[in-house]
Every structure is written in structure tokens, then in C-alpha cells.
Amino acid sequence: ADGPLVLGIESSCDETGVGIVRGRTLLTNTVASSMDEHVRFGGVVPEVASRAHVHAIGPTVDEALTDAGVTLDDIDAIAVTAGPGLSGALMVGVAAAKGLAAATGLPLYGINHLAAHIAVDLVADDLQQPATTSGAGDIGQPATASGPGDTGQPATASGPVTPSIALLVSGGHTEILRIGDLVDDIELLGATIDDAAGEAFDKTARLLGLSYPGGPNISKAAAGILDGTGQPGDPASVKFPRGLSTAKDLRDPARRYSFSFSGLKTAALRFVTAYEAARAAGSPETSRQLTDLRLADVTASFETAVVDVLVTKTLLACEDHGIDHVMLGGGVAANRRLRETLAERCGEAGVTLRIPPLNLCTDNGAMVAALGAELVTRGLPPSPEDFAVFSSLE
Ligand code: KG4
Ligand code: ZN
């Protein structure tokens, strides 16, 4: 394989990621996560994340170079996430990248994190083998969606299909984007106006007494794995709200593709309070219905409420724009109900769906390197030397 040898650095949230690609070939995807340090806080603490990046960045760059079997002398360009993300965390990665670029004289590209999530598909074909990680935990999932609806889809595609609609869902962000071209035609159609989807999982898990990160635990509970019964919960048992989904919201261009998960969190809190009161009151007939509910029922209902809105709005975006391809990215892509529901609804709508391997869905350096290599290949100039980090979406 040929093409530019690019080292990519990602530090927008709690993962310190370094990836190296040669053109569209992935050589390494090395990740150090500070997730463990955030567990006791029940969410990512920006200050803790920044410090963890400071410690991890040097060793992770070294590990990536060793793993790829290259040295800094071989590298043609450096790419780094410039935003959006936590500004302190971003600054650590950008400072490291600027230092490396200054020391080596290599061109440096500041990369948009959301575009990188999508660009990762450029190198996703290579990830049939488990990628190198350190401390990234539960990865190594199948390379493509394994939902019931994804029959007849190629197992891999060569790079992102355009035009497409991307649904990016993680602990730090939740967006629907229209991608006409990876480099110069990405349009943000909508985003969350409060919590990110993963954050909603994490906060609700906490309310239900499940540990951080909450997403995987809510899924396990909903599938009946946590209570050992193996009996999935009833997703229709608790009526949780679907944020920004009334007919009026959907008519409003500013809300049509936007998300709100804070009402869901409040509803979950209200549910837990009512449940505990019912338990405390013994079991009068009126409380029976509530106290008979299993954790599996509550979590399945919650999960379905989140997934329902994500999937519905993604397909609305496809329909509105006449686009028949969807890409899913972000850590919440690990959610099985989301994968399956999206695959099913895409199948019904005649829309193809692409889900990169999970370790490329979560934040990583490979996606940054992949987009960097694309910019180099297209002959685009590096970023100005004094480019700054940006924390918000625009
Ligand atoms: O992209 P990611 O690894 O990192 C950041 O956002 O920084 O995403 C992590 C998020 C967490 O909020 C976690 O609870 C959620 O993804 N998550 C899940 C699942 N696995 C991880 N949410 C729902 N279901 C899952 N199976
Ligand atoms: Zn991300």
C-alpha cells in the first residue's frame, strides 16, 4: 500500500488515541483511556482527563510508532483533533502535536473530531484483526453490524459512501450530519441541546444504581443479563418521553434533527422516586403494578426511548435529503438495541447502513490519522501554525 504516512492524535475527551495510517491502510490504533479514573465521579471530569492526557500522550505516541514499526523520521505529516471537545483535553493533544511538528519540521493538520469519526471508514477495511489498544476495555466486536436488518450488505466498504447521513452518538456528543464530501461538504443537521446520548445512559444508570459507564450496564440489565434471568425486559412497560419529537418539534427546522435527553433523565428520576415510595408503602393494590416491574423492564424502556428518537430522526434526515446511506459512529454504537433497530429501519427504508468496528467507533487516533492522510493526498495545505482548539460545535 502507498500514500502518505500520517500520525494522528486524539485527545478531545477521555481517550488518548494515537493512530498511524499509510494512505488508506491502518498500521496502528493505540488508545489509552482514563475511563477508570472517572468511574468514581460517574462521568468524565475535564480536569482529570487533561491530566491523564499529559501522562499518556508521550508513551502512547511511542507505543504507536513501535507497533507500526516506523520511526518519526518516516512520518510525512501529523494530524491532531482541534475540536470540538473539552478544551483542556484538546490543548494537551494539540500542544504535543505542535511540539512534534516543530521538532521534526513536519506539516501539521488540525482536524475536526466529527469529520474524523466519519473519515475512519477510509481505513476501516483493515481492521479485521483486533487493533492494538491499552486499557480500552470492551472492544473486539464484529467488524460490521450484526443486526437482523443488515443482510445483503457488503461486509466492508471501501471508504465512506457519499452522500450519506451520519449519526454520531457518544458520551460527549450526539449529532446528525449530512456528508456530501468528507473534506469540504459536511453539514451539521442537528445535535443535542442538553445531554449527549451516552451521558443520558450514564446518568440514568447512576439513578438506577448501576455503575459507570452506564451504557453497557443498562444494556445488560435490559437484556436480563444483570439479574441472571436471561429474560429481556419489556420495552413498553414504562412510558418514557421522546425528546423534541412532537409533531410541532418535527415541523420546526431548528428542532427536527435535534435531540434533548434531559426530560428523559427527569422522568427516570421521577420513576425511581415513585418506585421507592411504592416499595416503602408495602404492597397495596395500587403499588403492585409498579413494584412488580423488573430492572430489565425499566432499562429496556429507557433504552428504547433513546434509540427510538435517534433512529427516527436519522431516517427523517435520509428521507428529507433523498439520501440512502447511513453511517453510525461514537461509543453508543456499541448499543445492541441501537444497532439492531437502526439496521431494521434502514432495511425497511431501503437505506444501507455502515457501522465501523467498535474500536473505530469510539474516540481514537486512527480516525484523525485517516482524515489527515486524506487531506495530504488531496494536496491541501497544513493548518496555520497558530491554529487554536475549539470546544463547541461551530
Ligand atoms: O465514544 P466513547 O467511547 O467516549 C466518549 O464519549 O468519550 O463513548 C462512551 C459512551 C459512554 O457514555 C457509554 O455509556 C456509552 O458510550 N456506551 C453505551 C454502550 N457502550 C458504551 N451506551 C449504550 N449502550 C452501550 N452498550
Ligand atoms: Zn467522539
The whole-number pLDDT of residue 124 equals: 84
14-61: per-residue pLDDT in tens? 899 999 999 999 999 999 988 888 888 888 899 999 999 999 999 999
Q: Are residues 211 and 299 in the same domain?
A: yes
* C-alpha 20 – ligand 1 centre gap (Å): 24
Q: Are residues 128 and 158 in the same domain?
A: no
| Residues 39, 20, 177: CA angle, nearest 5 degrees | 65
- Structure ipTM: 0.98
Q: What is the dihedral of CA 5, 11, 16, 20, to 10 degrees?
A: -10
CA–CA dist 391, 387 (Å, integer): 13
List residues near ligand 1 (CB under 6 A). Answer: 13-14, 170-172, 198-199, 201-202, 213-216, 219, 330-332, 334-335, 362-363
Ligand 1 test: best mutation among 113, 114, 170, most atoms within 8 Å of CB?
Answer: 170
The whole-number pLDDT of residue 1 equals: 64
Q: Are residues 61 and 123 in the same domain?
A: yes
Ligand 1 atom index nearest CA of 13: 7
Q: Is 71 domain-assigned? A: yes
- Could you tell me the three cell numbers for 238? 414504562
Q: Is 248 domain-assigned? A: yes
Smallest CA separation from ligand 1 atom 8, residue: 331
Ligand 1 atom index nearest CA of 173: 6
* C-alpha 173 – ligand 2 centre gap (Å): 7
Task: Show binding-site residues.
Answer: 113, 117, 168-172, 202, 215, 335, 363
Q: Are residues 336 and 372 in the same domain?
A: no
Q: Are residues 338 and 370 in the same domain?
A: no
- Could you tell me the three cell numbers for 99? 511540539
Q: Are residues 345 and 239 in the same domain?
A: yes
Q: Are residues 227 and 345 in the same domain?
A: yes
Parent domain of 38: 5-136+361-377
The whole-number pLDDT of residue 212 equals: 87
Q: Is 388 domain-assigned? A: no
* C-alpha 172 – ligand 2 centre gap (Å): 7
Task: Show binding-site residues for substrate.
Answer: 168-172, 202, 215, 335
Ligand 1 test: best mutation among 37, 38, 175, 332, most atoms within 8 Å of CB?
Answer: 332
Q: Which ligand is nearest to the CA of 219?
A: 1
pTM confidence score: 0.90
The whole-number pLDDT of residue 283 equals: 63
* C-alpha 290 – ligand 2 centre gap (Å): 37
The DSSP output letter for 39 is G
Q: Is 394 domain-assigned? A: no
Q: Which ligand is nearest to the CA of 81?
A: 2
Q: Are residues 43 and 93 in the same domain?
A: yes
CA–CA dist 101, 108 (Å, integer): 6
- Residues ≥6 apart with Cβ < 8 Å to 383: 82, 108, 109, 110
Q: Are residues 154 and 293 in the same domain?
A: yes
Q: Is 386 domain-assigned? A: no
Ligand 1 atom index nearest CA of 171: 6
Ligand 1 test: best mutation among 201, 265, 338, 361, most atoms within 8 Å of CB?
Answer: 201
Q: Are 98 and 129 in contact (CB under 8 A)?
A: no
Burial (0-12, 13-18, 19+ Cβ within 10 Å), 2 = exposed
* C-alpha 71 – ligand 1 centre gap (Å): 33
274-328: per-residue pLDDT in tens? 888 888 887 666 566 777 889 999 999 999 999 999 999 999 999 999 999 999 9
* C-alpha 220 – ligand 1 centre gap (Å): 13
Task: Show binding-site residues for Fe cation.
Answer: 113, 117, 363
**Ranges under pLDDT 70 in the chain:** 1, 126-159, 283-288, 393-394
- Could you tell me the three cell numbers for 301? 424502556
Domain tally, the chain: 2
Would you call 28 helix, strand, or coil by DSSP? Answer: strand
CATH number of the domain that residue 169 is part of: 3.30.420.40
Q: Are residues 185 and 311 in the same domain?
A: yes
Q: Is 102 domain-assigned? A: yes
CA–CA dist 332, 306 (Å, integer): 11
Q: Are residues 369 and 352 in the same domain?
A: no
Q: Which ligand is nearest to the CA of 170?
A: 1
DSSP 64-113: HHHHHT--GGG--EEEEEEESS-HHHHHHHHHHHHHHHHHHT--EEEEEH
| End-to-end C-alpha distance for the chain, whole angstroms | 36
Q: Is 304 domain-assigned? A: yes
Q: Is 23 domain-assigned? A: yes
Q: Are residues 267 and 348 in the same domain?
A: yes
CA-based Rg of the chain, rounded to a whole angstrom? Answer: 21
